[in-house]
Structure formats: structure tokens, C-alpha cells
Structure 1
């Protein structure tokens, strides 16, 4: 998937909703994952959420690894059917994305940016993907800065049932230009 000289090699694999649930439970309930909106989730809630995603024909969850060790969660979805239905006019080649970096007691400078770059490289490896769509909480300033760093352009605020979100897009060309800079 993606290799960085400083960090190692990022890869992804399909998420096992039951087998990976204990790991994910620790990530999604961590205080740093407040915008993931699963702070009060129990283990069975995490299993149920990711079993539903696995059963969906329009949403998938992937576990991101760094040199074989789990370090992030990535979700890819079809915005015509999931998350953004009726909130914007999808274009051919649009794909929605969420990502969550595992909490760490020893943060590494640039790690989260390397993760989002790897996520975007994975998405754009699919030749059918023309544009990545995200809808983070308007209050999540850290992710807005990360999104901008990889080429996302905010379009407008939208009201989702669970949050007020900043709808943003990134084309393949915008991504390439941003990471080349």
C-alpha cells in the first residue's frame, strides 16, 4: 500500500468484526476518539456496528497496519447509499471515507498525516475513484487541518442526524498536488 522511509510500510486488510472488536473497542472508546461518537460503546456494540458494515453492500471497514501491527481503522463507503444520502449531489467516482488512528502513549510526529496519506493512496489505487468525500464534525479542527494537508477542499457545512459536518472533497489531482508539495 504505502511505504515511508521514516515509519515503515502501511497495509490494510478487511476488518474481522468479531475478532478485531476488542482492539477496536479500546480505540473507539478512548478519549482521543470523541469525534467517533462511540465513547459509551460496549464490546457488543462495536461488534454489532462492524457486523452491520460488513453486511452492507455499500460500506466496508479495513484495519490499517504498520509493518504488520494494527495502527488505524479505515472505512470506505458509497455516499449514494450511506452517510450522505440527500445531503449533496454525488458524482460518478465519489467514495466516502472515515479513518481513526489508534491511540498511543508515545505520539510520533507526522504519524497521523502519514496515515491519512496512506488511506488516500489506497482509495485512489482504485481507478474508478475520482473524488474522496468526507464529512467530519465542524468542531474537529485537527482533522480539518489534516484533510487540507492532503488536498481536501471544504464545500459547506451540512446537518447530519448525529452532527453538524463540514462536507469536503478531494480529487485525485488535488491529492497528488498536495502530497508533492
Structure 2
């Protein structure tokens, strides 16, 4: 029969082993949950511009965007809010529009968005002043039942000598000013 000292030593070893096993199990569970959450976010729907937006001058200005869902999950309940406003940020927006799609957009599927500025919205002459374009997308991942938002900030140098200038991405330093401008008009962003 083992002595009391040997039994205490054996009990101590078993206790420490159990504690170490419990800590390792907690760490493993934490890593597994973290990896699962990361993978889940990687699978979410996400829209990317496929090509540079097309600009057409004809009885106004039309911008055509082609977005592709590059995520693994479909996107449902896609709503786009589009805003066009003067780069001076002193005039009211010339174009505010909301468009909602009924159909889901599966992965690797493209959808088009047209922004049409008619002659009444924009002073259409040989020169159109520089404008900001903001596209605010909101949609749901039907697999995870989670809502997502994306905002695309672009600027357009306008029309110079009857030629439409290309759209470019807005600089990061301009983002806060644009957001404050949109909020001053109580627009979604």
C-alpha cells in the first residue's frame, strides 16, 4: 500500500495534468471558434467593380457600373442608394436615387447599376462642374442572415470641351468631408 506522501504526490500530478489538459482544451476551442468566424466572414457576399464605369453623354449623363459578387455566398435584398453632388460641397445634391433588387445575386454573378443625370438635374453645357458620386450598397447574406453595407466614393471631373472625363476613386482624406456633407442632408451612409 502506497504511503500518504506517495498518494499526495500522485494526486498532485493528476490535478496538474487535468488543469493543463483543460487549458489546452480551452485554447483549442478558442482557436477553432476564431478560425470559424474568420472563414464565415471570408464567405460573405462582397461586391467589386468588374470594370471601369462607362460614361455616356446623351440627353444628360449616364454612368453604368457593373458589380460582381466575389463572395462565396449569394447576396439578397440588395439596395443601392446613389448620390451625385458638386465637389465644392456647398450645393444641394443634384441626384438622389434608391434602387432595390428582388432577386438574389449568386457568387461570380454581375449586376448593373445605371445612374442617369438628365438635363434638369445637371447644367448640361460644354462644361459640367466636377462632381462626387457615392454609391451605398446594403444587402443580406441569406446563409448567415446577416446584413452588410459597402460604400463606393468616386469623383468625376465632369465634362470638358464636350468630353466626359473618367471616374476616379476619391482620396481617403476626402471621405470625412463627404460623409459629413451627406449626413447634413440626412442621407444614408
Give me the TM-score of the superposition, normalised by structure 2: 0.28
Higher helix residue share: 1
Give me the TM-score of the superposition, normalised by structure 1: 0.29
Higher strand residue share: 2
CA radius of gyration, larger in: 2
